[in-house]
Amino acid sequence: MPRILLVEDDPEVRLLVEHILLDAAYTVDSSETLEGGAELLGRRDYDLVVADGRLRDGTGMMLADNAREKGIPALIMTGYAFVLHEAGVDLAQYDVLLKPISPEELLEMVARALAARR
């Protein structure tokens, strides 16, 4: 069963995404901060990282870059694509889910990322 690291600072969004993934039979560990996500990523093996683009203590792209160094794919969820682009973030180098996300879209992108890893 694939293990997914979810990093999202909005508790309602985190709970919703976590339940969607759990209902689809994925194992999920979650954190609300970049620091907590990085700590989990350093302690466990993950098949995929799903992270919010803007976190209180950094960005999901920072975690995605860390995951990629370990050979782990990452998905970025954001409702601030334009703001991130204006800040100089090249979102084209990441798989991005625009918020609000649909459960179907989330699960499709998760399945695609996991299949690509195999």
Q: How many residues does the chain have?
A: 118
User: pTM of the predicted model, to two decimals?
Assistant: 0.92
pLDDT single digits (tens) 7-24: 999 999 999 999 999 999
Q: What angle do CA 70, 21, 35 make, to 5 degrees?
A: 45
Q: What pLDDT is stored for residue 78 in this prediction?
A: 86
Which domains are assigned to the chain?
3-117 (3.40.50.2300)
pLDDT above 70 as % of the chain = 88
Which residues have a Cβ under 8 Å from the Cβ of 63 and sit 6 or more positions away? 7, 34, 37, 38, 41, 49, 51, 74
pLDDT single digits (tens) 20-43: 999 999 999 999 999 999 999 999
pLDDT single digits (tens) 70-110: 999 999 998 766 555 555 556 667 888 888 989 999 999 99
